[in-house]
Structure formats: C-alpha cells, structure tokens
Structure 1
Amino acid sequence: MTQPRLPAIAREQMSPEQAAMLDAILAGPRKNLNGPFVAWIHSPQLGELAQRLGAFCRYDTGLPLRLSELAILATAACWQSQAEWHIHLPIAIEAGLAPAAAEQIRRGETPQFTLRDERVVWQFASELYRDKRVSDATYAEACELFGLPVVVNLVGLLGYYALVAMTLNTFGMRAEGQGEGDLPFAEPAR
C-alpha cells in the first residue's frame, strides 16, 4: 500500500498565503481539493499559479470537454497516475468518450476512434509523450481541425496535466474515496 508523503496541515496552521490559496481553490470552478492541491498548499506561490493555469486548461482551451478529458486520460495513462485517471475517467465518459476507448488507453493500447477529432487529439498527445515532438502531419491536421490557438492550448493542457500527474505520483496521492482496490494501474515499488 502506498502511503501519502505529505504531512497533514490544518487551516489554523496555514500561513496567510496558504489559506488564500485554499480559499481560491474552494471558491473556484473545482470547489474541492481533489487532485494535487493538497501538495501545492505546501508551496502556495506555485500552487496559486498552477491552480489558475489548471482552471484555464480544464475549462477554457477551446476544446470540447470530451477532447480535453481524452487528453487528460492520455496523460494519466502515460504517467500511470492513479488519482488523475480515477478523477477524470467518469468525466470523460459522461462527456461522450467511449468507455471501450478509455479502457484501451488504460491498457496502453491504441484506441480505435470513430471520430476524427478524438483520433487527432490522441495522436497529438501520443506523439508528444512518446517522441517528445509532434509530426508535421499530425500538427497540420490538428491546426486544420482546431485552429492554431487551440493547438497551443492543447500543448498547455498536456503540460499542465503532466505536472498534475508528477505531483500526484511523487507524493503518493489518491483521489477522494479512491481505495487501493480502485487503482487503474499496477503500482510500482518505491
């Protein structure tokens, strides 16, 4: 069993910066601390910047929710981020991503998409994570389909959720209500 590495911090123990960050997260669109936010409270300057970037990446990229969530699942699978997957899988399915495609992603397989926009987001994310670059063909197709500003935002979304995954993995964090039996990926030894 993985134990979280973060010490608990009560509100009355928080610095004014930590309390302000906590209040900003709880008052924002998320309304909870599920995810990396408990870690980021330990570094409120990073946390404040990251949570603001995250709000943009999650809600304002110009991508439909289904495609944003697909990109997040691609990231969670790449990093084998237990909590990130647990949090975002139901959102992706509710937004219209096929459960079979999500399961293929979880297993490390190439999903069989019927929609072009899903295939392009998957290809873009896969190439960027695997090759550390995006091919000319995939880049051109993404720009044609979404426009350059949204492609820039997609890169930001992938980078932000990689930061989230690294935070969750480093500190052994789980999603609210996620038990050891709810882990989508085998947990490596530490």
Structure 2
Amino acid sequence: MQPSRLPAFDPNQASPEQRAVLDEILSGPRGNLNGPFLGWIHHPELAQHAQRLGAVCRYRTGLPLRLSELAILVTAARWRSQAEWYIHHPIALEAGLPAETAESIRTGRVPVFEQDDDALVHAFASELYDQRRVSDATYGKAVERFGLAATVGLTGLLGYYAMVAMTLNVFGMRGDGQTALPFEE
C-alpha cells in the first residue's frame, strides 16, 4: 500500500543511489520493502545507513527472536505504529510469544508473563520508554541474564524501532496488505 503523504515511488525511475539501496534491501535478509523503506528511499543516504543498522538490530541483537520481537511489539504499542504492529505481530507469535501477552501489550496492560526473560525485556523496554532511563536493578538483571553485548543490542533495537515507528507514523504508512488497524487513529 503506497503511503498517503509520500509521492508515488517508481523503482524504474530510481536514481543510482536509490537503486543501490533498493538492491541491497531486496537481496538482504528482509527481501522486501515492507516497512519504512519507501519513506526513507527519498533520502537515499539515510535509507542506506538505516537499513543496514536495522539488519543488525533485527537479526543480530544476541537475543532470541521471541525477545527481539517482544521488544518491537512494546515499541509499536508505545508509538501506536499501525504498520510496525501489523508486520511484527505475526512474527512474534510464530517465534513463540503467547497471543495473550501480545494482546496485553497492544492494549497497554502489563502482561502476565510465562517466562522470566519475557518479563525482563518488557520491564527494560517499559522503563526506557516511561522513565527515559533503565533502573540499576533492571539493567543489572539484563546484563547478568543476556550479557553486555545483548543488552547493548536490545537498547539499539528499541531505538531503531522507535525511529521506524516515527517514520511509519509521520508518513501514514501501512504494511503490505494491511486493511485493519490495531490502534485507534
């Protein structure tokens, strides 16, 4: 679905810089342009750096996919990002996140967690979004449980997906095939 605030983008009319970004995205682990890329493509240098950062944040955080997707859903709910939720909700469920947990996050309730790691990632993300900091206790638990590199990866993932949510929200972007909205506008 073409975003309403952006001019139509025709890949056949792409500049060499835009073509390079498109080719890298389409040949990488994503393999599609679903998400913020059709917004960022209007600034090819930003698009190139952002999509490379995104590949690290999404695929190489050092956390299991379930935990990364949980953090993305917390971000999508906090930003009420329609496309981000639409794209990542099924991935999170497939990665093992319980549907009840996802629904609690979507509606702004604190989930009842079945796994301690899920509760820790939710607490970390919630503290960061609510307090703009993470408490010493939560930080210490994250480093002890996941290691320093994965805690840095989690922090980067939360920042990256906040930027994704901002892009999707500013330009009114929707996911490919999205017809229903998980959040009120």
Task: Quickly name the TM-score band, shorter chain normalised.
Answer: over 0.9
- Per-residue CA deviation, residues 25-68 of structure 1 (Å, 9 max, x unaligned), is 10010000000000011001000000000001111111000000
Counterpart of 1:183 in structure 2 is 181
Deviations 1:42-99 (A, max 9, x none): 0010000000000011111110000000000000000000000000000000000000
Q: Give distance in 2, aligned partners of 1:12 and 1:95.
A: 36
Q: Which whole-Å CA distance do the structure 2 matches of 1:184 and 1:56 have between them?
A: 27
1:114 equivalenced with 2:110 (yes/no): no
1:9 is matched with which residue? Answer: 9
Amino acid at match of 1:185: F
For structure 1, the residue ranges without an aligned partner over 5 or more in a row are none
**How do residues 2-81 of structure 1 correspond to structure 2 at under 5 angstroms?**
4-81=4-81
Structure 2 residue runs without a partner (length 5+): none
> Which residue of the partner structure matches residue 100 of structure 2?
100
Pairwise CA distance, 1:13: 2.1
TM-score, structure 1 as length reference = 0.95
TM-score, normalised to structure 2's length?
0.97
Decide which moves more: 69-78 or 4-13.
4-13
| Separation of aligned partners in 1, 2:12 and 2:28 | 21
- Does the residue aligned with 2:49 lie in a helix, a strand or coil? helix
Letter paired with 1:77: A
Give the number of aligned pairs. 183
Alpha-carbon offset, residue 14 of structure 1: 1.5
Note the C-alpha offset of 1:11. 2.1
Moved over 3 A (4+): none
Distance 1:11 1:114 in 2: 45
RMSD: 0.7
Identity %: 66
Matching residue's letter, 1:178: Q
Give the equivalent residue in structure 2 for 1:167: 167
Counterpart residue number, 1:84: 84
